[in-house]
Amino acid sequence: MAARSGNGSSMTSVEKQRVMYPDFTAPSVDKVMVEERAGSLGKRSIKKEAKVAGLYLAISMMDLTTLEGKDSPGKVTQLCQKAMHPSASPGVPPCAAICVYPKLVPVAKRALAGSTVKVASVATSFPSGLSALEVKLEDVRRAVEWGADEIDMVIDRGAFLAGEHTRVFDEIAATKEACGQAHLKVILETGELHTYDNVRRASRIAMLAGADFIKTSTGKVVPAATPPVTLVMLEAIRDFYIETGKLIGMKPAGGIRTAKQVLHYLVLVKETLGDAWLTPDLFRIGASTLLNDVLMQLEKERTGAYQSGDYFSKD
């Protein structure tokens, strides 16, 4: 039966969309203001005690990632060991998760058994996201069946930029359903969205469609995570919480390589969302090379001297 409008006539396609879909409208972003604020928050002076506490916290929020064509069970197992035991120094926590391709999920699951470290997997035809929806959903179901606790999906940026927002929404919602109990992180690939307004709108669409986290980047596109883009997404999360009461997590990924940078991101979170988001349940950092620099800084604070880079494992 055809849908009927309020006056009894058949509904147009536009009217149906208004009824079926939530409002994707997002406020316009002031480019100058967001870049100035992100820059100013990066200049905050942090006392030694707060710096050390922040670096320990950052380790507990890291998703150690290996997403290369030459990935092997041995490499993944080694990375899992590092995630569980980043350092022999006392007090260093385990990382939050290991992120791998679906085929290597069973390897990571076995290696991490009995630990608190989660297994995340990129699915939905990472990193392009350009396969047919059924192919992407099967990718997700298989990763979950093999033991993935978290799924990192990429949106179809071409569809988004073409204005097909309902299609992007539908794909995210279908992926969320395919995840079952696994958490869903939605990667916007902000480096391909061109404007802050697009980042803000894509963030809202992802959250409305059921994302547990929104994530900046695949790490395969430049620019990846930047402080201004992260601030735009954090503000979208803040406004979504005010509107719905739902707490959505945030994950900047790609290009975060130093302890100084990661402390900047923690300041952005604290000043925008508050202490409630300073937990691995609501904030993650995707970084393949960051961990060693954080460990070097912690050793410097503990011993007064820098350790050689060779002191830490490369994977």
**Which residue among 139, 156, 215, 293 is the active-site one?**
215
Decide: residue 68, CB within 10 A, 0-12 exposed, 13-18 middle, 19+ buried. Answer: exposed
CA distances from 246 to 170, 212, 237 (A): 20, 9, 9
**Which residue among 82, 109, 136, 251 is the active-site one?**
251
**Which residue among 152, 156, 212, 293 is the active-site one?**
152
Residues 263 and 33: beta-carbon distance below 8 Å: no
215 is catalytic: yes
152 is catalytic: yes
Please write down the HEC assignment for all residues of 106-161: HHHHHHCCCCCCEEEEECCCCCCCCCCHHHHHHHHHHHHHCCCCEEEEECCHHHHH
136 is catalytic: no
Would you name the residues annotated as active-site residues?
152, 215, 251
